[in-house]
């Protein structure tokens, strides 16, 4: 830990800002162009849209980062030498939005009082409505720019309504007016997920998905506008018209949510349903253009390989993304028309330059899950491979074969999955290579339902009492009720989400300190230290509970905060840690670049070391099942391959630094925020295996994250935190995970869960039995429940020792003492 006692900008902050500014342009996606951009030099710009001055760096909730400062689009343009001619328009828009926000906040306070819930819990994830702003579009300049922004966050989902998924009438009017008035016009999307822009798209010739790029958002946009950098991202999720998004399965419901669409998620659905989206999955333009040709196709050593040549045919430097898809034969199991099998980002290619690349795909990766046999099945027939839409070759399997037989775990759906479209055509005149099915046949049934403690090389725990073991498994509870739940449970690092119990440190194992992610390290900016721990000087978190306190209680809290500030100022004890905000998860995935993603992970890890954080509660990698999930901006993609590969790259970046580990989350099926505590995900074995677990499996096997966080929801009737089949049979048994499993915050706290609208909560004893080692942030009730169950014989001491041992083994592995 490095303690900084000055508010001056530190060299590491400058270095991280420069690094992110160089990396982030690859995350932006050019969706439409006519050649007007980039510009040759700064000029007078007519700048419009709420996102111009109130640019969104990333969404709300635990994924937010308390940065020193981030550049808005307006600032970025002015930093680059542009003159913004629409200051009055921007001031008026900001003033009206502030007025609406104040009214919205008052309504939330009233709702909190009426329902007896805290303001924090009522307001989580909810954003003010879009105001009606009708100032004329009359700024000077030949270049017009409109910044469309959207915000969302943890705790609440988006809505298929104007001002969210849909454009408001004001936005439509102003965008169309800009397109008509200005010789050069660009619509810029400062959003964390899709927005239906179909109403204006035919009239707008330049559209840039800037996304939400963290600390550097505004400066990166200026670099892109001037051609100092270029966009080379591709969409990692489909953008469709609001009425075209699938409604096959349930979303946002209290209680049972049936995933009737099965494996037909994202582009798999649009292909099968014959629906043309606004912008398809994998789409993205650049300032330049590329020509791709297939030059080779081979199948050997159980792997298909496609060689392509890429040539830059445009006038600018750029990078292309090569996307290898396969189309599997529909036989016993219905299949998507195509599925992403591999991808690779090219190096920078100058105008006229070309390069060759070979993409490989293990044949077993094309298998589908056969729920009737609990096995991965490669069906006999033709597997057609293509790169960037160009057919490459056919791997023809002589007979059906099971590549591996695993376990029937996590229950079953009470419905039949949507079947999709079974008919497909196989292109003619392609290279066809026969594959001997026998060489792909897997081993017999594999079901390791429990990993014995002696196989884990766990530390000796004979000197721990039952209560001490239970305390290790229940984190360190910090007094303050819901304050601990909202990410303020660490005493050692101000603003960190939590830490493990003192007893482990007292016995020589050290303490794991955890901070939220995934857009950076979430800690407080200003704090001071006393004997009992670090105290935040930015904002007393109890302000979220002001509306439920008596005037006397609130006055006492404010007096204490003022005393903390006075004491810290008087003694010169104020300390600082300013974190960088990296691009949101969806933006990182849009880079399709593992090296970039790993470098962002390394930036985060360096700050973890400086601030004294050991476990980053990220990356978050749930599937974009619906565009309305309020937390999608934290997640990567609708495709599990991109989700798994992106998470694996970030984990590598985190864990190559000493004393730093990653926590992949939320395991599993966390695909809605509204009523996330009361949601019971009901889905088939096939959908679970192919879509919702596949990314986690890829990440675990490729990067060995040291921790996994379970989700709030139930899966086929069982809390994920209590789901032994999920955690022991699949995660540890089948995938070989050797780290710590922890709960999300507050899943065992019945009072907290009731405030979120859930009937019931996960059981601390069942957490231990299921192999969910660490209950966070922990409370005395958790410890008492575990001890009681051991003493009654309901829970074995060996089960408890294994869970506690895994926590302590991680402390030793990270060399915390």
pLDDT at 479: 47
Beta bridge partners of 258: 682
Q: What is the DSSP letter of 40?
A: S
Burial environment of residue 563 by CB neighbours within 10 A (0 to 12, 13 to 18, 19 or more): exposed
Backbone angles phi, psi at 761, to 5 degrees: -155, 175
Long-range contacts of 11-16 (CB under 8 A, 24+ apart): 12/606, 12/607, 12/610, 13/68, 13/578, 13/580, 16/215, 16/580, 16/603, 16/606, 16/607
Residues lower than pLDDT 70 in the chain: 118, 120, 422-423, 443-456, 478-488, 539-550, 553-554, 557, 750-760
Task: Tell me what pLDDT residue 545 has.
Answer: 52
In angstroms, rounded to a whole number, what is the distance separating the alpha carbons of residues 393 and 385?
A: 6
Query: Is the preceding peptide bond at 38 cis, omega within 30 degrees of 0?
Result: yes
Q: Are 89 and 50 in contact (CB under 8 A)?
A: no
Give the per-residue pLDDT at 448: 46
Confidence at residue 118, expressed as pLDDT on a 0 to 100 scale: 67
Burial of 432 (0-12, 13-18, 19+ CB in 10 A): middle
Q: What is the sign, positive or negative, of the torsion defined by CA atoms of 403, 407, 410, 415? A: positive
At residue 424, the pLDDT reads 73
**H-helix or E-strand spanning residue 342:** strand 339-345
Distances (CA, A) of 593 to 88, 347, 619: 40, 10, 16
Q: How far apart are CA 794 and CA 790, in angstroms?
A: 6
User: Residue 119 and residue 122: Cα distance in Å, rounded?
Assistant: 5
Report which of 191, 196, 192, 193 is spatially closest to residue 244, judged by C-alpha positions.
196
CA–CA separation, 166 and 155 (whole Å): 21
Please give, one letter per residue, the 3-state secondary structure of 652-663: HHHHCCCCCEEE
CB within 8 Å of 641: residues ≥ 6 apart: 340, 341, 342, 343, 694, 695, 698
- Position 477 scores a pLDDT of 73
pLDDT given for residue 23 in this prediction: 98
DSSP string, 674-699: TTGGGEEEE--HHHIIIIITHHHHHH
CA-wise closest residue to 662 among 580, 582, 739 = 739
What secondary structure, in 3-state letters, does 425-450 show?
CCCCCCCEEEECHHHHCCCCECCCCC
């Amino acid at each position: 830990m490095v303690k900084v006692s000055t508010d001056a900008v530190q060299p590491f902050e400058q270095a991280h800002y420069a690094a992110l500014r160089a990396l982030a342009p690859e995350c932006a996606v050019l969706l439409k162009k006519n050649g007007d951009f980039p510009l040759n030099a700064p000029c007078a710009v007519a700048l419009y849209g709420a996102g111009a001055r109130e640019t969104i760096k990333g969404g709300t909730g635990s994924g937010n980062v308390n940065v020193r400062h981030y550049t808005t689009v307006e600032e970025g343009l002015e930093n680059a030498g542009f003159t913004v001619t629409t200051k009055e328009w921007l001031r008026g828009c900001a003033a009206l939005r502030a007025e609406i926000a104040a009214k919205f906040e008052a309504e939330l306070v009233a709702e909190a009082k009426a329902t007896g819930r805290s303001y924090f819990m009522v307001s989580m994830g909810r954003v003010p409505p879009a105001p009606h702003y009708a100032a004329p579009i009359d700024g000077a300049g030949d270049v017009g720019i409109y910044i469309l922004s959207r915000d969302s966050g943890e705790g609440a989902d988006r809505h298929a309504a104007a001002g969210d998924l849909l454009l408001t009438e004001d936005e439509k009017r102003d965008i169309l007016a800009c397109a008509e008035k200005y010789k050069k016009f660009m619509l810029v999307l400062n959003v964390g997920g899709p927005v239906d822009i179909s109403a204006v798209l035919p009239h707008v010739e330049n559209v840039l998905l800037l996304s939400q790029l963290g600390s550097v958002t505004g400066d990166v946009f200026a670099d892109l506008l001037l051609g100092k950098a270029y966009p080379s991202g591709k969409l990692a999720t489909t953008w469709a018209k609001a009425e075209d998004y699938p409604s096959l399965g349930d979303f946002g419901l209290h209680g049972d949510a049936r995933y009737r669409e099965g494996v037909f998620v994202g582009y798999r659905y649009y292909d099968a349903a014959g629906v043309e989206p606004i912008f398809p999955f994998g789409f993205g333009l650049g300032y330049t253009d590329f020509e791709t040709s297939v030059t080779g196709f081979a199948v050997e050593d159980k792997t298909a390989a496609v060689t392509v040549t890429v040539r830059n045919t445009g006038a600018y430097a750029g990078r292309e993304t090569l996307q290898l898809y396969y189309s599997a034969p529909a036989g016993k199991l219905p299949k998507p028309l195509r599925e992403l099998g591999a991808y690779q980002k090219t190096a920078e290619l100058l105008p006229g330059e070309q390069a060759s690349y070979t993409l490989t795909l293990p044949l077993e990766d094309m298998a589908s899950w056969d729920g009737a046999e609990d096995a991965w099945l490669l069906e006999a027939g033709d597997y057609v491979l293509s790169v960037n839409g160009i057919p490459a070759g056919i791997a023809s399997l002589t007979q059906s074969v099971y590549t591996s037989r695993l376990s029937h775990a996590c229950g079953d759906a009470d419905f039949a999955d949507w079947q999709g479209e079974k008919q497909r055509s196989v292109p003619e005149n392609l290279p066809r290579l026969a594959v001997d099915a026998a060489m792909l046949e897997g081993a017999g049934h594999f079901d390791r339902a429990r990993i014995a403690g002696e196989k884990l090389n766990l530390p000796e725990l004979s000197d721990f009492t039952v209560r001490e073991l239970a305390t290790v498994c229940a984190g360190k509870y910090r007094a303050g009720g819901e304050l601990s739940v909202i990410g303020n449970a660490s005493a050692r690092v101000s603003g960190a989400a939590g830490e493990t119990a003192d007893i482990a440190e007292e016995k020589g194992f050290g303490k794991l300190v955890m901070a939220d992610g995934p857009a950076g390290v979430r800690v407080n900016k200003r704090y001071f230290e006393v004997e009992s721990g670090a105290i935040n000087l930015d904002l007393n978190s109890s302000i979220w509970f002001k509306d439920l306190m008596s005037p006397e209680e609130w006055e006492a809290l404010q007096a204490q905060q003022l005393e903390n500030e006075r004491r810290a100022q008087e003694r010169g004890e104020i300390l600082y840690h300013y974190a960088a905000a990296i691009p949101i998860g969806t933006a990182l995935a849009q880079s399709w670049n593992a090296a970039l993603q790993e470098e962002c992970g390394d930036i985060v890890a360096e700050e973890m070391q400086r601030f004294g954080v050991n476990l980053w509660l990220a990356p978050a990698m749930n599937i974009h099942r619906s565009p309305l999930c309020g937390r999608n901006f934290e997640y990567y993609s609708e495709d599990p391959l991109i989700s798994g590969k992106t998470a694996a790259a970030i984990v590598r970046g985190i864990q190559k630094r000493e004393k730093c580990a990653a926590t992949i989350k939320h395991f599993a099926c966390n695909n809605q925020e509204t009523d996330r505590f009361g949601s019971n995900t009901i889905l088939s074995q096939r959908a679970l295996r192919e879509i919702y677990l596949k990314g986690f499996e890829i990440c675990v096997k490729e990067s060995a994250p040291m921790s996994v966080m379970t989700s709030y929801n139930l899966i086929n009737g069982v809390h994920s935190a209590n789901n032994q089949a999920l955690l022991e049979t699949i995660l540890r048994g089948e995938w070989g995970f050797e780290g710590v499993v922890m709960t999300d915050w507050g899943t065992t706290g019945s009072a907290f869960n009731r405030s979120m609208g859930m009937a019931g909560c996960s059981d601390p004893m069942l957490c231990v039995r299921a192999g969910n080692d660490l209950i966070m942030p922990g409370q005395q009730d958790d410890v008492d429940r575990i001890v009681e169950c051991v003493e009654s014989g309901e829970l074995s001491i060996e089960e408890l020792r294994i869970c506690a041992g895994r926590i302590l083994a991680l402390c030793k592995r990270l060399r915390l003492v």
